[in-house]
Amino acid sequence: MTRSAETAGYQFNHTMIRIKDPKRSIQFYTEVLGMELLSEAKFESFTLYFFAYDHSGGTLTDREKKNSRFNREGVLELTHNHGTESDASFAGYASGNTEPGKGFGHIAITVPDVQAACARFEALGVPFKKRLTDGSMRHIAFILDPDGYWIEIVPQRLQLADDDE
């Protein structure tokens, strides 16, 4: 498929999911998954949080990270509608993987060592949807974020076998 000159420079910048409690989600995405909080944008009734991995080796300043928000790929946007974190009647958000509301499936993090990553998630008490040892696909796992969204943990494979689709 040849790419149109009209779409040159386009980037798949971010994916947005809604969250109930920013305190829990920020802790999870930064401390458990190791992303950086690039920036946040507070509005009257909601706040947006933008996360991404810093692949610069630590050379980017906070200002540069913040500026990269709309000019890179691999950004995760979390939307917090104020009040859900303390609203006992709030039913929570749908993961997208069950009816009603099936559609969105998951986000995926690739890791250099999937065994080590999953052992660390276990040690941190992260809930699993699918451990490496569950089911037939023994090289991938699914963990759950604080809202119950599925996060696939996938090994970084530098080269697929010729017959591996």
Residue from 111, 131, 132, 144 touching its own copies (CB under 8 A): that is: 111
Q: Is 77 annotated as a binding residue?
A: yes
Dist CA 118 CA 91 (whole Å) = 29
* Two tokens, residue 16: 């947005």
Q: List binders of its own copies among 7-46 (CB under 8 A).
A: 7-18, 30-31, 33-37, 39-42
Quick check: is 73 catalytic? no
Q: For its own copies, give the closer residue by CB, 30 or 87.
A: 30
DSSP codes of every residue in 113-141: -HHHHHHHHHHTT--EEE-TTSSS-TT-E
Per CB under 8 A, which region of 62-70, 82-90, 126-134 contacts its own copies?
62-70
In the list 23, 83, 101, 134, the residue contacting its own copies (rule: CB under 8 A) is: 101
With CA atoms as reference, report the closest residue to 17 among 101, 106, 130, 142. 106
Is 165 a binding residue for its own copies by CB under 8 A? The answer is yes
Query: Closest Cα partner for 139 from 114, 118, 107?
Result: 114
Q: Binding to its own copies by residue 125, rule CB under 8 A?
A: no
Question: Is 132 near its own copies (CB under 8 A)?
Answer: no
Q: Is 87 in the site for its own copies (CB under 8 A)?
A: no
CA angle 140, 143, 148 (to 5 degrees): 140
Nearest CB to its own copies, comparing residues 45 and 73: 73
The annotation status of 106 as a binding-site residue, yes or no, is yes
Cβ 146 vs Cβ 21: under 8 Å: yes
